Amino acid sequence: MILSDKKILEEIENGKIKIEPFSRKRLGSNSYDVSLGKWLGVYKNDILDAKAHNKIDIFEIPEDGYILLPSKLYLGVTEEYTETFDYVPFLEGKSSIGRLGIDIHSTAGKGDAGFCNTWTLEISVKQPVKIYAGMLIGQLIYFEIDGEVLNPYNRKTTAKYTKRTEFPVESMMFKNFNL
């Protein structure tokens, strides 16, 4: 079941959902709109290796915007830091973003109960598009969990994205080869 706007507000007041910064104006009927942070990352190498630590160059989006190109994968980040323990957060692109040909994630739209961080976005475009820091880019939807969570994300020893950051984070896939 998806949480309604009223339930999201209740859970924010109860401390079960945290969104920082929070603006009541961004609360939809059953979602919360998040914005693009000011940092983007691009991989240093054109060929990526799933077994290697592929490093990224991070840069600030200029005030007058930045043009994304179809030939690149960009790692963005939300301005909003979120915490959720009793629900599963999903991040989806806003329809207005999709209509510009912007995808904000390839496969990583679902968070885990216990995810406490900003959201790294895997941004790709169908044609060149100019973007701006602070623009609305996605919406968080919260799903109820049936049963008790035994191992929340922030306490998993194998969790790779737990360090709080305002920057996009590159793939840590290479760590999976050691599991």
Residues annotated as catalytic are: 122
Measured torsion, CA atoms of residues 167, 173, 175, 177, in degrees rounded to the nearest 10? 180
Tokens of 163: 């360090």
Sequence-ordered list of residues with C-beta below 8 angstroms from that of 36, at least 6 positions apart, any chain: 61, 76, 77, 78, 79, 121, 131, 132, 133, 134, 135, 136, 137
* SS3 letters across 42-102: EECCCCCCCCCCCCEEEEECCCCCEEECCCCCEEEEECCEEEECCEEEEEEECHHHHCCCE
Between the alpha carbon of residue 173 and those of residues 51, 78, 161, 166, the distances in Å are 7, 21, 11, 20
